Amino acid sequence: MPIVTLTTDFGTKDYYAGMLKGTMLSLCGNLTIVDISHNIQPFNITEAAFVLKNAFSSFPEGTVHVVSVNDQDDRAVRYIAAEYLKHFFIGFDNGLFSMIFEKEPDAVVEIVHGQNGSVASFPWKNIFARAACALAQDKKISAIGKPAREILTKTGLTPVVQESLIRGSVIYVDSFHNLVVNVNKDLFGKIRKERNYTISFRREKITGISDSYHDVPEGEMLCLFNSAGYMEIAINSGKAGNLLGLNIGDTVQIDFE
């Protein structure tokens, strides 16, 4: 059965996610719909990009990934679809996809539609549903839109890199209140070059990378690279997000000696 995933900031209290799912199933009843997350912080495209970037490759090739985050019904924002690494992505051209794709996508189209805000309170409902069903059924991206030369680019997952430092930021706080930083293991190793280093934030400093959360006593702070390969600041059996006073967007700097 064709697979469609959903990543949204709708939450789970309201009817929005159900409305989108119902519309898709009404158009294409043989879909398997998988929720990646509906708990993205409202309007936070950086968080949505991080979550989907680390989830999509676990799905089979040909999966269609629908993203609806920061829906402002702005007539200037395009609806787009992209093909990347044999997966399909549908969403707003708001910079989110540029943070997921590590190279140029194989194809990008601006979705052709006749909806506008005066026709429906939630125009994306039908636009996304129709595009997802079309891709799930025949996998021809050219059938749902006209070629788009480029997509909006943003750098929310990209740290500042210099010869002797990496200046990153907190981009995600998981359900255990661990703090994810936009520095991956490969970049860290490339810049470090076997040098000593200090990881600094607020008034705190860490001088080593742990292999697991239990490398330090309970209640102690640590830094490691998580299963997605990103730097993570945590407290063994504690809530780093609450106790360290760090929030999304706050700076974490690594100085190399």
Question: What pLDDT score does 119 carry?
Answer: 45
Q: In sequence order, what DSSP letters do the residues of 154-213 get, joined into one string? A: --TT--EEETTEEEEEEEEE-TT--EEEEEEHHHHHHHHTT--EEEEETTEEE---BSSG
- 115 pLDDT above the threshold of 90: no
- Domain 3-147 fold is Rossmann fold (3.40.50)
Rounded-to-integer distance, Cα 180 and Cα 241, Å: 10
Rounded-to-integer distance, Cα 221 and Cα 60, Å: 37
Q: For the chain, which residues make up each domain, given as ranges?
A: 3-147, 160-256
- Domain 160-256 fold is Elongation Factor Tu (Ef-tu); domain 3 (2.40.30)
For residue 1, what pLDDT band results from cuts at 50, 70 and 90?
confident
Average pLDDT over residues 105-128: 77
Question: What tens digit of pLDDT does each residue of 41-69 get?
Answer: 999 999 999 999 999 999 999 999 999 99
